[in-house]
Every structure is written in C-alpha cells, then in structure tokens.
Homo-oligomer: A and B are copies of this chain.
Amino acid sequence: MDKNKTGQHISHQFNIELNEIRNRVLEMGGLVEQQINNAIKSLVEGDTNLANAVIQRDMKVNAAEVAIDEECSQILARRQPAASDLRLVVAVIKTITDLERIGDQAERIARMGIRLAEQERPKNGYHELQNLGEHVARMMHDTLDAFARTDIEAALRVAKEDLSLDQEYDGIMRQSLTFMMEDPRMITRMLDVMWIARAIERIGDHAKNIGEYIIYLVKGKNVRHTSLEDMEQELQD
C-alpha cells in the first residue's frame, strides 16, 4: 500500500515534469513565432530598431534550446520513460532543434532587413515578402497549436500548407528573376529579396518537420519520408 502510494507519487510528479517540458516548448515556440513576426515587420517597415531587437533576442531562443535539451536529458536519465512518454521526450529534443533553427532564420531576415532599410524602397514595399512571411507565421502558429493539442490532423494540415508556401516562394523567385533580367540595376536588390524569401521558405520546412514529430509522438511512426497521401492513410489506420 505504502509502495503503491510512492509509485503514484512518482508517476504524478513525472506527469508534472512532462507537462512542464511541454509548456516550455510552447513558450519557446511563442518566442520564435514573435521573432518571425517582428523580423518580417522590421523588414517591411524598414524599422532597424525592431530588427536589432530581433537579433538581440535570438540569444533567448538559443538559451531556451539549451535549457530544455538539458531537462530532456535529465528526464531520460532519472525517469527512464517508456512508450509515449519516451516518444514525447524524443519529439521535444527534435522540436527544439528546429525551433532554434527557425530563430536563426528570423535573425537572418532581420539582418537583411537592416541592409535593405539603407536602400531606396520599392513601390510595393516588399509586399510579396510580407505575404510570404505572414503565411509562414500562420503555419508556425498552427504548428504550435497542433503540438499543444497533440492534434495529428492539424499537424498534417501544416505539412500540406508547406506545399502551398513552396508554390508562393517559387512565384517570388520567378518574378525576381524576371525583374533582374529586365533591369540589371535591380540585380542586388532582387538577390536580397530572393535570400529573404529563401529564409522564409526554410522556416516552413522546419514547421513541417515539427508537424512530423507530432505525428511520430502520437502514432509512434516516423513519417518524415512519407508522401502526403501515405501520411493521410497512416492517420486513418
């Protein structure tokens, strides 16, 4: 009876720890989402103060990754989790790596934004990058929601959304190329647009990765190299 009580206590305490980890990932994710939004805003508005704030705050993202990683290692060592608890810890270890890389891309966008702020602004004010950036920010938000609710349907929607983001990205690349060829004086500026579009597109890839970890977490299946159709099939099984 006494032993059972201790067992329950440990399990209860363990659940608190797992919830704590989950919350810290969501907190880190919220910070990263804010970094994306601010990086895009600083770029579109030519706001170098905001861009510098994004660059500064990337350290917080990095610190969050190191701290959560450490906690995961401690949980693995002390709690020796099994089954879905173990999958949660492994999924968290992978998720924070992608979150940290998303943070790096946001920082990169902010740095390029500072460079662009010194140049003459185009008439459309980088409208196409704003759209692409808002698209990926929504994807990121949905990914974190899917993680919070361990919702595999939502995670699958994120993977599908990445296709549509890629198409939008391809459109920007084609358009930038056309502008360059029509007017070679535009080459440098269009290259900057291309690099920023690329950074945003990479964020979409990372969000998709996180969606895949959520599916792994729930279904215990690695779907990383699976087509969307097969993934949908998988979720119905």
Contacts and interface: CB of A to CB of B under 8 A. Distances in A.
Interface of A: 59, 62-63, 65-66, 69-70, 72-73, 76-77, 80, 82-83, 86-87, 90, 93-94, 97, 100, 177, 180-181, 184, 187-188, 191, 222, 224-225
Contact of A77 (B62, B83, B188): B83
A65 B187 contact: no
Interface majority SS (helix, strand, loop, mixed), chain A: helix
Given A87-B73, A180-B187, A181-B187, A225 B66 contact: yes
Q: What copy number does this chain have within its complex?
A: 2
Given A66-B224, A77-B82, A97-B97, 7 more contacts: A59-B225, A66-B222, A66-B225, A90-B93, A180-B187, A181-B184, A187-B187
A184 B180 CA distance: 8
Contacts of A76: 76, 86, 90
A70 B77 CA distance: 19
Contacts of A225: 59, 62-63, 65-66
A202 B49 CA distance: 29
Contacts of A177: 187-188, 191
A95 B78 CA distance: 23
Nearest to A98: B97
A196 to B, nearest CB: 14
Contact of A73 (B59, B63, B90, B97): B90
Contacts of A59: 225
Contacts of A222: 66, 69-70
